[in-house]
Homo-oligomer: A and B are copies of this chain.
Amino acid sequence: MAKDKVRRPRAETPKGFRDYFGAEVTARTEMLQAIGRVYRAWGFDALETSAVETVEALGKFLPDVDRPNEGVFAWQEHEDTDWLALRYDLTAPLARVFAQYRNDLPTPYRRYAMGPVWRNEKPGPGRFRQFYQCDADTVGAPSVAADAEICAMLASALEAVGIDRGDYLIRVNNRKVLNGVMEAAGVLDPADPSRFEAERGIVLRAIDKLDRLGEAGVRALLGQGREDESGDFTKGAGLAEEQAELVIGFTQARRDTAEATLARLRELVGTSATGAEGVDELETIAGLLAAQGLGDRALIDPSVVRGLGYYTGPVFEAELTFQTLDEKGRPRQFGSVAGGGRYDDLVKRFTGQAVPATGISIGVDRLLAALQARRAQAAAPAGPVVVTVMDRERMADYFAMAEELRAAGIRAEVYLGNPKNFGNQMKYADRRGSPVAVIEGGDEKARGVVQIKDLVLGAEIAKNASLEEWKDRPSQVEAPRDQLVAQVRAMLEGS
């Protein structure tokens, strides 16, 4: 290989992945820490599984094709070793863990987990192949008290990260009620649950799109089907008009009070035993939430169904109700930032025995975006104080200044590039978002003083001031060396 001809590697993030810098990382970390403290206070224990699972344990993506990688990143080392894959959520690993350690874990087992998950899907704007999830689940508790607890804890977590009361709603529904309505509509036969399974799937997905398609769109999907603006046709569930009426009635069953909503639901499920059970469960949950003072923030909303197929009972969703403006000044609604529900069959895959479970997953990136939009008016997080280098023989002096500032709780660093050109040091401080620069040349050293430059004020003056004002340089202050910390602090508090 000729030395000069070696092709250099491209310095690129793989397609669909991204890097996170500085405040993007710390803001997320702080949010997750605040949520973790709430989960722990409620008796949930941390669990961290490895990113890698066997494809077999992950399930859903079983190796029925040559390369079982639909939706996941998967690989096989050798022909005789297991297919491995990156986890695509935090629920599948929880089911594996509970099945694996069930004799050693307390029952019920309350656990929380936070970390990245991976999806081998086509990336899109704002959609990446690696993103964070933050889940809390209770495994082994059949009572809907566990569902009510999850909803109350979710409210507590949202408030802990800075969403005020009145700015969010927890909406609760129950799949059993929906199944009761399907029974009443004749698309679910309790004696043969496999009949009409495809139709029910279409109904479920149609209701889940109510927000986006409106009542007319959902009606079309419940009937013969719907053609969208691009001309694409989606086949409908084929329900007759009276059947569709029942389903639409279900999504619109919300009334002003929980009592009235529950009464309406009882009408809709008719004689279905499953439906009645579902309404009873909703009543219990509503009662528990009201008793905990959440009556104003949690409500029964039959239009919430959640898209996932595996829910078997209560389902819930947290919605942010405030509006912010996007970069272009357009109103922006954040909508759902968390969702979950009861799923009683995931552990059964491993053990053959049904294990009741319920849980919530917080959409980390969406919640973070909402928080940041709210705080957009607040000052951007400041960079460190930069101690400039005027005399490269006196690095120890500059290090000592930075250490004094840090000991006083002020983020600080010494300039470590080539100090020759002072302009470069100022450009560096600018790029770092530094609020203050400290300068001590030979003259200052001899006189026992330091120059302290207010870079925030300086930038404002540079933008707005006349040449005269600029010359006065009121943004720079000379202070005795032993007043360094006090003077920097005063400047930081002033800015």
Contact = CB atoms under 8 A, between A and B. Distances in A.
Interface stretch (A106-114, A173-181, A237-245): A106-114
Interface in A312-371: 349-352
Interface stretch (A204-212, A287-295, A479-487): A287-295
A11 B107 contact: no
A376 interface: no
A62 B347 CA distance: 41
Contacts of A86: 51-52
A17 B410 CA distance: 40
Copies of this polypeptide in the complex: 2
B350 A19 contact: no
A416 B69 contact: no
Given A50-B130, A106-B428, A412-B41, A399 B12 contact: no
A420 to B, nearest CB: 12
A224 interface: no
Interface stretch (A71-79, A225-233, A257-265): A71-79
Contacts of A428: 106-107
A26 B43 contact: no
B48 A19 contact: yes
Interface string A119-153: 01000000001100000001011110110110010
A431 interface: yes
A42 B413 contact: yes
A59 interface: yes
Interface residues of A, number: 99
Interface stretch (A93-101, A184-192, A443-451, A469-477): A93-101
**At the interface, is chain A mostly helix, strand, loop or mixed?**
mixed
Contact of A51 (B26, B42, B130, B140): B130
A457 interface: no
A395 B19 contact: no
A291 B77 CA distance: 53
Contacts of A21: 45-47
A416 B146 contact: yes
A218 B116 CA distance: 45
Given A9-B57, A19-B97, A57-B10, A48 B25 contact: yes
A240 B143 CA distance: 79
Given A48-B19, A291-B399, A406-B42, A145 B414 contact: yes
Given A12-B96, A106-B431, 20 more contacts: A8-B350, A11-B57, A13-B50, A14-B84, A17-B52, A19-B48, A19-B101, A20-B49, A26-B36, A29-B46, A42-B402, A43-B432, A51-B130, A108-B417, A143-B416, A145-B399, A152-B403, A287-B396, A291-B400, A292-B400
